[in-house]
Amino acid sequence: MNVEKEFFSNISSRERAIFEGAISMGALFHQFIGTPVNEKSANSLETAIEKSLSLQPAIEKTEVKIDLAKIKEIMSEFDYVSLSGDMLDVKIHSKIDSVLAVVRMKFIPELNYPLMFIEEIIE
């Protein structure tokens, strides 16, 4: 079966690049939110998320930053907290043909929300 022809021939490379980045961002959010994290484990969790997402189709690069200040601010007596969307700043770079989509999630204080959005499209 030719997956490209069978399932993606009805959309442009631009649309597919956005789709792949967005589906990976949704997977990140629903897969990793709630993961136990502290200052010592944040870096390895960032790396694990990056490596995991890089396995998805069309994902060229991922950048994950966990806000250590936020972890310190809400640290529990058990020396860890649960990862939440307001701790994350993530960029996913997805590429189809010559189109690169940069999908981002970051906490927007004015909205009090970890917003996912298309940061950039390079054609």
Question: Can you give the pLDDT at residue 1?
Answer: 82
Whether the model pTM is above 0.85: yes
The rounded distance, in Å, linking the Cα atoms of 120 and 123 is 10
Q: Residue ranges per domain, the chain? A: 11-122
Model confidence over 82-101: pLDDT tens digits?
Answer: 999 999 999 999 999 999 99
Q: What CATH topology corresponds to 11-122?
A: Pantoate--beta-alanine Ligase; Chain: A,domain 2 (3.30.1300)
Model confidence over 12-44: pLDDT tens digits?
Answer: 999 999 999 999 999 999 999 999 999 999 999
Question: Can you give the pLDDT at residue 4?
Answer: 79
Cβ atoms 90, 106 nearer than 8 A = yes
Spell out a b/e string for 8-47, using b for 16 or more CB atoms within 10 Å of the CB, else e. beeeebbebbbbbbbbbbeebeeebeebebbeebbeebbe
